[in-house]
A and B are shown apart, each in its own frame.
Chain A
Amino acid sequence: MPRIWKFGDSVNTDDILPGKFAPFMAGEDVFQSFAFHYIRPEFAAQVQPGDVLIGGRNWGLGSSREYAPAALKKLQIGGIVAPSFARIHYRNLLNLGIPAFEFDLTGLLNDGDEVSLDVNSGVLTYAGGTVQLPPPPEFLREALAEGSILAFFKKHGRFPGEPAS
Chain B
Amino acid sequence: MSDPAHRPQTMAEKILSQRGDHVVYAGDLAVVEVDQVMVVDSIAQSFIERMQRDLEALPKYPERVSIVIDHVAPASTVSVAQAQKEAREYAAQTGVRLFDVGRGICHQVLMEEGLARPGWIVLGSDSHSTTYGAVAAFGSGMGATDIALAAASGKTWLRVPESVKVTFTGELRPGVTAKDVALEMIRRLGADGATYQSIEMHAGDRFTRGERMTLANLCVEAGAKAGLVVPGGEILTGYGYDVPEWVYPDDGATYVQAIEIDLSALNPRMSAPNEVDNVYDVAELRDQLRNTPVDQVFIGTCTNGRIEDLHAAADVLRGQRVAPGTRLLVIPASSEVMEQAMADGTLLTLQRAGAVLGTPGCGPCMGRHQGVLAPGEVCVSTSNRNFIGRMGDKDAKIYLASPAVAAATAVMGRVALPEDVVGHAVAAGGR
Contacts and interface: CB of A to CB of B under 8 A. Distances in A.
Contacts of B55: 150, 153-154
Contacts of A88: 127, 141-143
B195 A150 contact: no
Q: 10 closest pairs, A vs B, by CB? A: A66-B143, A58-B192, A92-B143, A95-B145, A38-B394, A19-B366, A64-B141, A24-B83, A162-B31, A66-B144
A29 to B, nearest CB: 11
Given A24-B42, A149-B149, A61 B223 contact: yes
Given A12-B387, A19-B42, A150-B148, 13 more contacts: A14-B387, A23-B45, A24-B41, A24-B80, A57-B192, A64-B126, A64-B141, A84-B192, A137-B159, A150-B149, A154-B55, A159-B156, A162-B157
Contacts, number: 142
A58 B277 CA distance: 13
Contact of A154 (B54, B124, B156, B394): B54
A127 to B, nearest CB: 31
A159 B223 contact: no
Contacts of A150: 50, 54-55, 145, 148-149
Given A25-B72, A159-B155, A10 B146 contact: no
A160 B423 CA distance: 61
Given A64-B141, A65-B42, A88-B143, A10 B29 contact: no
A154 B54 CA distance: 8
Of B44, B80, B125, B157, most A-chain CB atoms within 10 Å? B157
Size bracket, chain B contacts: 35 or more
Interface in B130-148: 141-146, 148
A65 to B, nearest CB: 7
Nearest to A159: B157
A157 B192 CA distance: 34
Contacts of A12: 387
Interface centre among B41, B76, B159, B389 (most CB of A within 10 A): B389
B368 A58 contact: no
